[in-house]
Each structure stands twice: as C-alpha cells, then as structure tokens.
C-alpha cells in the first residue's frame, strides 16, 4: 500500500532514513538531468533543509525551522490548528491537473510522535477531494472549501478518518485554481468568511425541505452555521484573508497584496441606486505597492512574455510597461499575526507571500484617523523583505499562527506555480507543470532562542465554559477566537451573567469585545449593556457596539455623540449605523457630518446609503445650510452629481418634479455651474 494515501501513516526512524536516501538519490538524478527542463532554463529542487538555508531574513534575530516536509505533506496550500492542538493540512494534489484526474486532494492531520518539533506522522482524514484549499474547525469536524462546494467532514468513530461528509453549500465557480472559494475564517462577529474572487455562482443551501439560492457574482461570501444564514459580502479576495483584532477585514488579490474592506455590503444594499462612482467598497491600502524586493530572477517564460508584451506596446506607441520581477504579481495568503514568539514589534503585523517572487512580505497597519488603515513597511524592510530566498521553487502560499505563538509558512514548493491558462502556449515548451507535485514544506518562523515546538494536546473542547470565558482575554487572537467559537457551538446560557460582567469590567479590551459576541451568539445582549459599551475606552469595542445597536431606537441618543468621536473609524461606523434609523434628529446629524466630511467619497457613500440621506427633503436642507454655497468646495459638484444620479435612477416622478423646482433659476441660490451639473445628469428624464 502506498503510505501517502493510506488512512494512517506512522513512519519509523528506519523508514524515514530510507525515504531520505531515496529522496537524495532522486534529487541527484533530477539535478543531473536538469529536472527535464529545456536548456537549463529552470533549476531543480532542493531538500527542505537546503532550501531553508537560502532564506534571508531582514531581522537577524529571526530564524526558521522545518516543521513538516514530504512525504508527510504534499502540495500544501493551508494549515489550521483546532481546539485540541491538531494541525490540519490541506494538500491540493490536483492543482493544474486536467478535469479527468481531478479529485486527488486530501486533508491530513500531522503529529510529532518523537517530540522533536518536527512532524513524523500524517493521518489522512479525508481524500479524493477536488481542489480543496482551506479548512475551518467546527463542532468537532472541519468545514472544507473545495470548489464548487463548501463541505463538512467529521470523524464519528475515532479512527482518525472522516466518515461523515456533507455538502453544505454548492455552486461556486471552479474553472480556475487561482480564483475559487477559499480562506475560511471565523470572525469576531461570529460569521465565517470566505474569499470568492468575485466569481459568478448560484449558491445553493439545503435548509430543511427547501433549497435556498444566492448569486455571489462580484462578491465574497460569509455564513453563520449556528443560525443557518449565508450571504454575499464585500470583497473580491483571491487567496489570503485576514482580520485584525477589531475585526477589520483584509484580503490578498494577486498584484494588490493588501486591500481592506471599508464598506460592508449590507450598507450598500440599503440603496441599490448608488451611482457606480460610489460603489467601490474596498481599497488597496498599501503605501508601497507594487514594489517588492525579490532575490530570484524572473523565470525564463515570464521574462520572455514581458519582453514580447513591452515590444508590442512600443510598436503601437503605447505607454504601458510590464515588469517581470520586483513587482507583486503573486500575492498570496495574507495572515494576521498576534503571537508571542516573534519579537514584540511584530505583533499585529500582516504577512503575505508572493509565490512568484519567492518571498514573505510584512505590513504594519497604521491608524490614520480615517475609515481605513494604511499598510506600511517595517523599519528593517525599507529595501528588503521580511524573508526572501534564492530558491525559485519556494512558494509561500499561506501562513497560520500556531497556539504556541509561532508563525508557520506553508510552502507549496513547485517549479511552476502559475496556472497554464496564464502562459502563452509557445512559452510552455520545456515547462513541466507537475514538477514538484510530490513535494511540500511547512516552516516555523520564530525569534532565535524561542522554545522548541511541542505539539501537546490542548483539550479545550471539554473545558468548562467559565474557563473558556477566561481565555477571551488571551494575548493571542488564535486562543480568543477558538474559545469564542467553542462557546458559540455549545450555546451554554449559564454563562450569560458572567459574560456580561466580563463585558463591562474586564481590563482587556479584546476580552470585552469577544465576550460581547459570545452574548450575541446567545441572543443575550440588552440595551443597558450596549449603552455602556458605546462609551467603552476602546475604539474597536465602540465600533461593534454601534453595529449591534442598529435598529434599537432607545439607543439613538447614545449613538449621536459618536459622530464626533476621536477615532475616524468610529465616526464612520456611527454614520453607517445611523443610516438604519429615521427621524428629524437623524437627518440633522447626517447632514452635519456630511458638511464636515463631504470631501471623502466614503462618507458620501455612507450618507447616501441611509434612507434619510437620499431624499429631496435632505437635499433641500443641505442646499439651504449656512455656508454650503458661500464657501464652494470641489466635493460639492461630485455630491450633486451623485444625488442627481440617484434621483434619475429611481425614476420617481414626484421626486423629479420637486428636484426641478429646486433647480428653477428663481429658487437656486448657488453657482449656475453647479445647477448645470445637476441638470446635465438629469438629462433625458421627462
């Protein structure tokens, strides 16, 4: 029996030595034959140790260790730890295979039997998977993203292999390995998020006897398994999804290595007539894109494709110029780090690989008193990357934070990482897209002198609820989210009183935030608690208290002061949340914020998304506001165009009639150019 596809694989030391000898002989043979490539265009593979020796860290106090390598992991694309401390690895063994041989993917559980810090056991939990990319622990099993489905697997008899296999969702796009459903992530708001790359899909979910369907074209995806809810969500993430300690979401999309979700889709949906200029709900927040610093030269095919494209541009007199290297083209695996085994300055960093550039990039997230954050380079990485290697086979596909505080890098380790769909046929000569399909590595990255890795059972699943509650203030986001998820799963209402006390008085702001959503999962939030949290010392807690206060009219007077908050993100959320209310005071407050922040398209989006924000009454009030016409500003023209677009698209005769009355020369108090702008936008309406 081939041990790599057996249900259970326990390799002895002798067999490990034999495997190493076989691998060494094979490596020597491949190097001698130049791995079958043409004219030496592509180099051959290295052992995991030899490859790791080529890693160059910007910070000399950091080093890497081999955690797992072939044959225990093959074509790994992601790894997650569950509440017991088990490491689950997704192997995408059918990557770039024709449809006739799809379904070779598998999920293995790694273990370290001899306690030397390196995996020496791989137990196959599930196999015969088509293009599996991501897992998420839930209810003692795993959700699995495997286009066109999201599946659920569980081992019910304790033999290590999943007998239960349920299709939870189906209908996702599955015709390009680089643009499919992936990156399942449990958020602090109790939703599970996934990247969908904006691909079209008619998603079906079996709910009782009915099948509910949803179109996700243009969006990402999220669901609540505890409530049977699912919906599209803002974003077009490819491979890489991260959330900071306050739940702000970031995604990786190839050349844009870090984009932030600024405007959640649920607010966009309030006004389907928002003009296209105000429907860009995400933002590339990097201040240094598209540049990166790689140590490997561009592969022959990419260099030649770039040369050909640039030549065509010159021949046609076009200014476009493509770059073959030192520019992000394969951003992958954006992951937030909140562990303790990298130096303290790395807490809260977001790590992203570039699989084409063979490197690991790090971003620091900077608060700039705005609806979004800014991503900047660290002080040691102004002219280099967190880690770069000279081994062109290293493909940092994703990362994960371990329970011990380590940062793990998942290296698919292949000669070619691009889909053949992106490479012209004439440049594929001499390329073997299967080269490396028996390799895979996972590295542990920590500060030098860190304790050796010990994969001890955590046994969180059976801990009392009050002990889990105490973990909500753990410094590591992994521990906080795991404890919250377990409390959500078990629905233990006996902890409501303790959770409320935790929310009100615990010294840890993140503990208060997680406890708030434990209560949300138990439907145990009351106005008194939210009233207190709207005044919390932490901006992230105030943001979420605003979200959870929406629709609670008794809290309106407590929400109004937050439009003047010291945090720009809280102010923005206050405007979004006010959009769920109506009334004269709401209109007055929204108007005041618009006049102060109207130069920002994000605030205009928030304003117009509110039901009260796009009425003729509101427009009339703004035009009459002191100072609107007396101190002309560039944004006013954009604002009036956007308002006119909304009225035009709604095609409400009564609104149009009132709007034309406002534009009558006898009534118009502003510059004629602004009046002409509105009239031009309304052109064609009777």
Looking at the predicted structure, is the pLDDT value of residue 3 above 60? Answer: no
Distance of CA 609 to the CA centre of its chain: 24
Looking at the predicted structure, is the pLDDT value of residue 23 above 50? Answer: no
Q: Of 17-31, 139-153, 260-274, 632-646, give the lowest mean pLDDT range.
A: 17-31
For residues 75-87, give the mean pLDDT.
97
CA distances from 398 to 5, 126, 220, 221, 629 (A): 24, 21, 19, 19, 52
**Residue 561 near residue 530 (C-beta atoms within 8 A):** no
Band (pLDDT 50/70/90 cuts) for residue 669 is confident
Which residue would you say has higher pLDDT here, 54 or 14? 54
pLDDT at 37: 42
pLDDT at 684: 65
Tell the CATH superfamily of the 3-447 domain: TolB, C-terminal domain (2.120.10.30)
Band (pLDDT 50/70/90 cuts) for residue 36 is very low
pLDDT at 209: 67
Q: What is the pTM of this model?
A: 0.91
Question: How many whole angstroms separate alpha carbon 478 and alpha carbon 455?
Answer: 15
pLDDT at 103: 87
Considering 175-184, 539-548, 653-662, the range whose residues carry the highest mean pLDDT is 539-548
pLDDT at 170: 95
Band (pLDDT 50/70/90 cuts) for residue 19 is very low
For residues 541-558, give the mean pLDDT.
97
pLDDT at 685: 62
Band (pLDDT 50/70/90 cuts) for residue 1 is very low
pLDDT tens-digit readout, 343-353: 999 999 999 99
CA distances from 68 to 111, 225, 445, 639, 683 (A): 10, 32, 13, 56, 65
Question: How many whole angstroms separate alpha carbon 294 and alpha carbon 87?
Answer: 30
HSE-CB for 336 with a 13 A CA cutoff: 24
Which residue would you say has higher pLDDT here, 71 or 41? 71
Q: Of 175-179, 217-221, 393-397, 648-652, give the lowest mean pLDDT range.
A: 175-179
Q: Of 287-291, 294-298, 321-325, 403-407, give the lowest mean pLDDT range.
A: 321-325
Average model confidence (pLDDT) across the chain = 91
Question: How many whole angstroms separate alpha carbon 94 and alpha carbon 628?
Answer: 61
pLDDT at 418: 85
Any idea of the CA torsion for 392, 394, 396, 402, to the nearest 10 degrees?
-160
Helix, coil or strand: residue 151: strand
Band (pLDDT 50/70/90 cuts) for residue 320 is confident
Band (pLDDT 50/70/90 cuts) for residue 14 is very low
Looking at the predicted structure, is the pLDDT value of residue 97 above 90? Answer: no
pLDDT at 35: 43
Looking at the predicted structure, is the pLDDT value of residue 15 above 60? Answer: no
Question: How many whole angstroms separate alpha carbon 408 and alpha carbon 4?
Answer: 22
For residues 653-675, give the mean pLDDT.
89
pLDDT at 9: 45
For residues 163-168, give the mean pLDDT.
95
Domain positions in the chain are 3-447, 615-686
Looking at the predicted structure, is the pLDDT value of residue 661 above 60? Answer: yes
For residues 391-415, give the mean pLDDT.
97
Element (H, E) at 51: helix 48-52
Report the share of the chain in percent with pLDDT over 90.
76
Looking at the predicted structure, is the pLDDT value of residue 419 above 50? Answer: yes
For residues 435-454, give the mean pLDDT.
96
Looking at the predicted structure, is the pLDDT value of residue 135 above 80? Answer: yes
Looking at the predicted structure, is the pLDDT value of residue 686 above 80? Answer: no
Question: How many whole angstroms separate alpha carbon 414 and alpha carbon 355?
Answer: 10
pLDDT at 682: 84
pLDDT tens-digit readout, 509-527: 999 999 999 999 999 999 9
DSSP state of 555: G
Residues 419-428 as b or e (16 or more Cβ within 10 Å = b) = eeeebeeebe
For residues 235-264, give the mean pLDDT.
95
Q: Please name the residues in contact with 506: beta carbons below 8 A apart, sequence gap of 6 or more.
A: 473, 512, 515
pLDDT at 38: 52
Report the share of the chain in percent with pLDDT over 70.
93
């Amino acid at each position: 029996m081939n041990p790599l596809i057996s249900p259970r694989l326990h390799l002895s030391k002798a067999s490990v030595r034999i495997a190493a000898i076989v691998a060494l002989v094979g490596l020597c043979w491949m190097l001698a034959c130049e791995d079958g490539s043409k004219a030496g265009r592509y180099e051959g593979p290295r052992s995991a140790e030899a490859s790791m020796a080529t890693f160059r860290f910007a910070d000399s106090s950091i080093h890497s260790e081999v955690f797992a390598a072939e044959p225990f992991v093959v074509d790994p694309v992601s790894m997650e730890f569950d509440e017991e401390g088990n490491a689950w690895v997704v192997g995408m063994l059918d990557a770039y295979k024709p449809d006739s041989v799809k379904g070779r993917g598998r999920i293995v559980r790694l273990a370290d039997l001899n306690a030397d810090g390196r995996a020496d056991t791989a137990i196959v939990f599930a196999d015969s998977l088509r293009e599996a990319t991501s897992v998420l622990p839930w209810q003692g099993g795993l959700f699995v993203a495997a286009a066109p489905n999201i599946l659920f697997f569980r081992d019910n008899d304790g033999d290590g292999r999943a007998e239960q296999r349920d299709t939870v969702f189906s209908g996702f796009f599955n015709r390009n390995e680089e643009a499919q459903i992936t990156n399942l992530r449990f958020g602090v708001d109790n939703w599970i998020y996934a990247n969908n790359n904006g691909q079209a899909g008619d998603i079906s979910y079996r709910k009782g006897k009915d099948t509910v369907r949803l179109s996700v074209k243009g969006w990402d995806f999220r669901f609540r398994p505890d409530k049977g809810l699912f919906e599209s969500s803002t974003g077009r993430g490819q491979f890489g999804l991260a959330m900071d300690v306050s739940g702000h979401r970031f995604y990786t999309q190839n050349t844009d290595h870090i984009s932030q979700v600024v405007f959640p889709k649920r607010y966009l949906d309030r006004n389907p007539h928002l003009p296209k200029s105000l429907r860009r709900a995400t933002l590339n927040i990097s201040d240094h894109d598209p540049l990166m610093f790689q140590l490997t030269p561009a592969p022959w095919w990419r260099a030649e494709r770039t040369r050909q494209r640039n030549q065509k541009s010159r021949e046609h007199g076009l200014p476009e110029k493509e770059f073959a290297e030192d520019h992000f083209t394969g951003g992958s695996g954006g992951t937030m780090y909140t562990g303790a085994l990298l130096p303290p300055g790395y807490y809260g960093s977001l790590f992203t690989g570039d699989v084409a550039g063979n490197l690991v990039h790090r971003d620091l997230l900077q608060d700039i008193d705005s609806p979004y954050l800014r991503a900047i380079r660290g002080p040691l990485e102004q002219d280099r990357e967190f880690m770069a290697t000279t081994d062109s086979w290293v493909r940092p596909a994703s990362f994960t934070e371990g329970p011990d505080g380590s940062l793990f890098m998942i290296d698919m380790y292949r000669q070619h990482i691009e889909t053949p769909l992106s490479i012209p046929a004439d440049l594929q000569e001499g390329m073997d897209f299967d080269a490396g399909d028996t390799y895979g590595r996972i590295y542990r990255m920590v500060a030098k002198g860190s304790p050796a890795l010990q994969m001890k059972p955590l046994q969180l699943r059976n801990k009392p609820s009050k002990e889990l509650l105490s973990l909500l203030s753990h410094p590591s986001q992994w521990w906080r989210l795991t404890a919250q998820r377990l409390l959500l799963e078990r629905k233990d209402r006996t902890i409501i009183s303790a959770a409320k006390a935790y929310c009100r008085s615990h010294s840890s702001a993140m503990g208060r935030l997680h406890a708030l959503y434990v209560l949300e999962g138990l439907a145990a939030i009351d106005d008194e608690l939210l009233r207190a949290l709207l005044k919390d010392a932490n901006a992230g807690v105030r943001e979420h208290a605003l979200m959870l206060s929406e629709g609670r009219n008794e809290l309106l007077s407590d929400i109004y002061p937050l439009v003047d908050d010291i945090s720009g993100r809280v102010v923005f959320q206050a405007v979004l949340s006010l959009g769920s209310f109506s009334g004269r005071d709401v209109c007055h407050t929204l108007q005041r914020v618009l006049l102060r922040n109207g130069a920002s398209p994000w605030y205009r989006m928030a304003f117009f998304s509110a039901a009260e924000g796009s009425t003729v009454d509101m427009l009339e009030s703004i035009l009459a506001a002191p100072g609107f016409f007396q101190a002309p500003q560039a944004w006013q023209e954009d604002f009036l165009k956007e308002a006119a677009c909304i009225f035009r698209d709604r095609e409400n005769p009564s609104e149009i009639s009132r709007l034309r009355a406002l534009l009558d020369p006898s009534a118009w108090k502003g510059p004629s150019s602004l009046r002409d702008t509105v009239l031009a936008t309304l052109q064609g309406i009777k």
